Homo-oligomer: A and B are copies of this chain.
Amino acid sequence: MAVYTHVDDRTLKSFLGRYGVGKPVLFKGIAEGVENSNYLLETDQQRLILTLYEKRANPEDLPYFLNMMEHLADAGLPSPRPIRDNEGTALQHLMDRPSCLIEFVPGVSVDVPDEEHCASLGTMLANMHRAFESFTEVRANDLSLSGWQKLAATTSEQAEEVQPGLQREITTEIEFLTDHWPTDLPVGTVHADLFPDNVLFTDHDITGLIDFYFGCTDMFAYDLAVCINAWCFDEKHRFVPEKAKRLVEMYDAARPMSGAEVKALPILCRGAAMRFLLTRLYDWLNPVEGAVVRPKDPLDYLARLKFHQKIKDAAAYVV
């Protein structure tokens, strides 16, 4: 975590008084996420996560994220359920921060997913999108095209320090994306950040989907493109076709994709690579003081972008 808010035992006790969740027997800050303070809390009745939302979270968006999570939990998907207090309120204030007590979901994230992990992900992603069809709230994706343009402008002066020529590569690609970004694909609620560290497994079964704090309304196939980028490259940033094949195949089996969606995969993958290239570049150039989590190398996503630029068509992802 970047910021860490200490919650003392008395404050916790008084906070838990709002709920019928039992007495705390374990309460430990966990090193998870760069945006918030998270505590693992176990009572004599259940296991929970206490999240305190730090500066980077926009408090106005929090009800949307919590409602997303509750909607999925109601649909039987393994999303942690926000816990409502005795008066029915989920979003609280604690230590002068918005905060929420959230159900704990078991499982361990996988650092290097194999093909079967990707297959499980494909099915789960499709089921999540289907479950979101009845979720009616809307939130624009501020990390789509116009967000990339802004980030590119902010980072342009320093991009050359990271790699000569980087600024021009970003500018050229954003021009291309601006001209070709699809506008007619099926849209709904998406996770938009479903990286391996946000998916918990027990063996090859997904037991938890977490970190919905980039959730928004965007093209379903864009969410799949994020996953292709995040799950289907090896440690040297080389594309692993078998993983993408299983991911897309299982996704399509649970939520059949339209021809237009399949055809758009290459440009959606370029856009997704650009999104993570730019946010990583920004974080790289603006490191948070005192952060435990080291900024990730933006160039990992330049390598992916270059792969997506070179492929002939969507068949590359499904062969």
**CB-contacts of A101-119 with B (<8 A):** 106-112
Select A4's contact among B9, B109, B292, beta carbons within 8 Å.
Answer: B292
Within 8 A of B (CB), among A1-35: 1, 4, 8-10, 12, 24-32
B29→A111 contact, CB < 8 A: no
Interface residues on A, range: 20 to 34
- Is A291 positioned at the interface, with any CB of B under 8 Å from its CB? yes
Contact partner of A202 (CB less than 8 A), chosen from B1, B25, B32, B202, is: B25
A24 to chain B, nearest CB (A): 5
Query: Does B291 contact A25, Cβ atoms closer than 8 Å?
Result: no
Q: A25-B108, A28-B32 are in contact. List 17 more A-B contacts (CB 8 A).
A: A4-B31, A8-B112, A9-B109, A9-B111, A10-B111, A24-B108, A25-B202, A27-B108, A28-B30, A28-B40, A29-B30, A29-B31, A29-B32, A30-B30, A30-B40, A31-B31, A292-B292
A76 interface residue (CB < 8 Å to B) = no
- A25: B residues at CB distance < 8 A: 106-108, 202
Set of chain B residues within 8 Å of A40, measured between Cβ atoms:
28, 30, 40
Please encode chain A, from 271 to 290, with 1 for each CB lying within 8 Å of some chain B CB and 0 for all others: 00000000000000000001
The contact sample of 5 A-B pairs, CB cut-off 8 A, is A1-B31, A9-B108, A9-B112, A26-B107, A292-B292
Q: Kindly list chain B residues whose C-beta atoms are within 8 Å of the C-beta of A8.
A: 111-112
Kindly state the separation between the CA atoms of A27 and B106 in the bound complex, as whole angstroms: 9
- Nearest CB in chain B to that of A203: its residue: B23
